[in-house]
Amino acid sequence: MTKTAEKIQNFIDGQFVDPVGGKYLDNIEPATGKPYSQVADSDTREVDLAVAAAEKAFAGWSQTSAADRSRILLRIADLIERDLEKLARAESIDTGKPLSLARTLDIPRAASNFRFFATAILHTESEAHITDNVAFNYTLRQPRGIAGLISPWNLPLYLLSWKIAPAIAVGNTAIAKPSELTAMTAFLLCGLCREAGLPNGVLNVVHGTGPNVGAPITAHPKIGTISFTGGTVTGRKVAEACAPLFKKVSLELGGKNPNIIFADADLDAAIAGSVRSSFANQGQVCLCGSRIFVERSAYADFVNRFLDQASKLKGGDPLDDKTEQGAIVGKTQLDKVKFYVDLAQKEGGKIALGGKAPEPINDRCREGYFFKPTVITGLPVSCRTNREEIFGPVVTITPFDNEEEVIGYANDTEYGLASSVWTQNLTRAHRVAEKIHTGTVWVNCWLVRDLRVPFGGMKQSGVGREGGEEALRFFTEPKNICIAK
Ligand code: TXE
């Protein structure tokens, strides 16, 4: 551990503070497998301090005008854009993702999250209902109080800002807990929020592990709203903790997303889109299309061309601008990927591409967590490899003979987050999209995001929706006021 390693401190009541117990966790750089900084190893004592700060700030912040809240959030967005390169580099080092991806996706999307909700609160509609000649009803949507925001390691600043922005835009105060694996950009965001003039205590960030910090947040009686993104297993624990306290909970969980290619699709577009939806962020995006289904008459052509394009993805040091495939976020996740590649072969699958770590890229990355883009064919549709979330650069490709069959395959999973359908027959596109059980269906595209639309999953992919109007409604409490005539 280098003595000068940066310490990722908690941000409570507008101050950067060490954890009460003085403990820190090593923060490992995925590309090297070595610690490069330290993350505060906090516990319920810091959560209590953060609750006190958030409670103190709530009265002032919830009474602040929407115009003033908007101005501060827009300033945060401007500062994120000002520091784009610094934030992108921090994100790349912390997660192992290519610097180019952090620079073009993660950080710009974080700025647009703040900008979107900063302006959305200026244009919200209020509902009123005239009850004949009896009464006049109007609905107030008021901030709920302290929100607990828990986020994962795959798109750290993007997904955390997706929670912080709406929560505080509508007048709540917040306690955020980023993943202990990728806490650096949340730490940097705190400085930008202070520079933007966000009042002390409106946003508090407490770093540490799930059990020591996440669980106390979900169990704290004064934190009435919980927004969680992460794995389904943990999502279940969060829901169990919140239920007895009747908390309002939003869960954005895992996925095992189908990517369906019909023979009449524009294959050039479908192949390019499928390579991206398979391996973006090393396949560590809950929306990745990890189960590819191709109509049999186009199957051989698709597989050959897909393998050719996927094999050309440039793996390398995440900090190299030319790199398209970086490192897996950590050893635990890399071992999980290796486990499923071994399992796939035991289940009868054939490794058509990848299936192992690449040759060492350079001395710096010799002990990093790298794995080649991997394609598996020949698996039965209902095997474990095709039903369980791997969350790495691993996809399966399976042929199908007709629409009804592939819809059955697509829906044969406990998850229901997102899907893609590639066809030039738009009547079929509408028909298939209506029958697929996922919260989002992309037709002839992937990961096209409009922040106004509801976003989230069905079944074990989550509860509730985030995004746009849904997020503003999630973080506010509607009150109906009825005035007799
Ligand atoms: O998620 P976790 P991880 C999937 C993916 C991945 C799996 C686990 O399959 O392998 O989830 O990933 C905090 N109470 N996705 O480890 O464990 C934890 O500290 C409260 C899909 O990132 O769910 C972190 O901040 N909080 C997902 C956050 O929860 C707890 C993206 C997520 O951790 C907690 C990432 C507890 N008991 C992973 N235990 C998506 N849908 O985008 C942990 N945490």
Would you kindly state where each structural domain of the chain is located, as residue ranges? Answer: 6-253+461-484, 258-450
Q: Are 415 and 459 in contact (CB under 8 A)?
A: yes
According to the model, what pLDDT value does residue 311 have?
A: 98
To test the pocket of ligand 1, the residue of 41, 179, 415 to mutate (highest count of ligand atoms within 8 Å of its CB) is 179
Q: How far apart, in whole angstroms, are the C-alpha atoms of residue 131 and residue 11? A: 49
Rg (CA), the chain: 23
What's the pTM value of the predicted model, to 2 decimals? 0.96
According to the model, what pLDDT value does residue 465 have?
A: 87
Q: Of the listed 193, 242, 286, 365, which one is catalytic?
A: 286
Q: Are 256 and 415 in contact (CB under 8 A)?
A: yes
Q: State yes or no: is 286 an active-site residue.
A: yes
CATH H-level superfamily of 6-253+461-484: Aldehyde Dehydrogenase; Chain A, domain 1 (3.40.605.10)
Residues with CB under 6 A from ligand 1: 150-154, 177, 179-180, 209-211, 214-215, 218, 229-231, 234, 237-238, 252-254, 286, 333, 389, 391
Q: Are 472 and 166 in contact (CB under 8 A)?
A: yes
**Measuring CA to CA, how many Å separate 108 from each of 114, 407, 411?**
10, 35, 33
Q: Are 356 and 372 in contact (CB under 8 A)?
A: yes
According to the model, what pLDDT value does residue 469 have?
A: 87
Q: In 170-316, which ranges are continuous DSSP H helix? A: 184-195, 215-219, 232-242, 267-279, 296-311
Residue 2 CB: number of other CB atoms within 10 A?
Answer: 9
3-state DSSP call for residue 235?
helix
Q: Are 409 and 401 in contact (CB under 8 A)?
A: no
According to the model, what pLDDT value does residue 2 have?
A: 38
Tell me the per-residue pLDDT of 248-306, one tens digit each, with 9 for 90 and over.
999 999 999 999 999 999 999 999 999 999 999 999 999 999 999 999 999 999 999 99
To test the pocket of ligand 1, the residue of 27, 223, 234, 340 to mutate (highest count of ligand atoms within 8 Å of its CB) is 234
6-253+461-484 matches 258-450 in fold: no
Q: Are 341 and 374 in contact (CB under 8 A)?
A: yes
According to the model, what pLDDT value does residue 5 have?
A: 57
Q: Which residues of the chain have pLDDT under 70?
A: 1-5
According to the model, what pLDDT value does residue 467 have?
A: 81
According to the model, what pLDDT value does residue 466 have?
A: 84
Closest atom of ligand 1 to CA, residue 253: 41
Q: Which fold has domain 258-450?
A: Aldehyde Dehydrogenase; Chain A, domain 2 (3.40.309)
Q: Which residues contact 233 (CB under 8 A, 6 or more apart)?
A: none
Closest atom of ligand 1 to CA, residue 180: 19
CA 97 to ligand 1 center in whole angstroms: 18
SS (H, E, C) 277-320: HHHHHHHCCCCCCCEEEEEHHHHHHHHHHHHHHHHCCCECCCCC
| 285 token code pair | 């995006």
According to the model, what pLDDT value does residue 426 have?
A: 95
Instruction: Quote the Cα angle for 130-134-138, to 5°.
Output: 35
**Torsions phi, psi for 418 (to 5 deg):** -150, 165
**Torsions phi, psi for 256 (to 5 deg):** -140, 75
